[in-house]
Amino acid sequence: MSGTSPEERAPLSSIDRALLVVEFLARRGPEGAPLSDIAAAVDSNKATVHHTLRSLRYRDWVDQDADTGYYFLGDGVDPIIRYTTRTQFVVDQLHPALVAICHRYNELVHLGKLSGQVVTYLDKVEPDRPIRVVSFIGRNAPAVTTALGRALLGANNVTGAEIDWYLSVPTDNPPTRATIEECIEHVHRHGWGMEVEENEAGIACVAVPVDLKNGERVAVSVTAPAERLGAATREAVAYGIAEEINAISGTTGVSVPEVLLPRSVR
């Protein structure tokens, strides 16, 4: 018996096929591709793909080179190219604060959000000195093992079965339930989360949850060698992150836990 799911066996709808064609041509660039290559890429016969291309040409999403016959993306996709996704809008809003935090501490700064059981890294700013942590935008990491994730779990008031669900994600060094409960309680009381040498020897991280104007939530972290991020320093860095985020709150509508703000602005 095949292990293919019913969804994988289902035939492509015309919309699915059109989107696959557009994605394929986007990867091919301005040179474009012949009909045979497009059909092979979307796993459809040439007659069906030719019909799809005709529809896309009508909308100016696809054009055809008169000499080679190759198809390429047309000017009709320009509004899509110019569109700023909700995630990119958040990144653009918070990036100046990430830069300010990086300049303030000369350490690695990340922006992340929860995506199911993992944290997705949306943005980062690197310090002007060698770093020992390998990271990249788009990376996913278990929420329970990262300062970013723990800050968000605490801010989201995760309890009971929810904690078990987050702990069920496969990871090389799974924390205990008691550890995560302590981390969540720490966020409740102090407004920030942390991870110290649990993922990588000699590396520590501090993160602060950030509420967005649209009701969503992200987190910002500082990662540094543990010798530069001791207990007293971690708390100071958390307050510093909050201060830099709060500095852009007037123009962005973002906010940090009140416990991290000076009493004069609470």
Angle at 99 between CA 97 and CA 103, to 5 degrees: 115
Write the CATH number of the domain with boundaries 86-265.
3.30.450.40
The answer to whether residue 32 scores a pLDDT higher than 80 is: yes
- Model confidence at 263, pLDDT cuts 50, 70, 90, reads low
15 C-beta neighbours (distance < 10 Å), count: 9
pLDDT at 7: 44
Q: What is the pTM of this model?
A: 0.76
Tell me where in the chain the CATH 1.10.10.10 domain(s) lie.
6-82
pLDDT at 149: 97
The answer to whether residue 266 scores a pLDDT higher than 90 is: no
CA atoms within 13 A on the CB side of 63: 12
Q: Are 240 and 206 in contact (CB under 8 A)?
A: no
Give pLDDT tens digits for 161-179: 999 999 999 988 899 999 9
Q: Which of 6-10, 70-74, 131-135 has the lowest mean pLDDT?
A: 6-10
Residue 225 neighbours by CB under 8 Å, 6+ apart: 132, 202, 203, 204
Q: Which of 7-16, 109-118, 178-187 has the lowest mean pLDDT?
A: 7-16
Angle at 181 between CA 175 and CA 184, to 5 degrees: 110
Give pLDDT tens digits for 2-15: 333 334 445 568 89
Tell me where in the chain the CATH 3.30.450.40 domain(s) lie.
86-265
- Class of 6-82 in CATH: mainly alpha
Give pLDDT tens digits for 216-240: 999 999 999 999 998 889 999 999 9
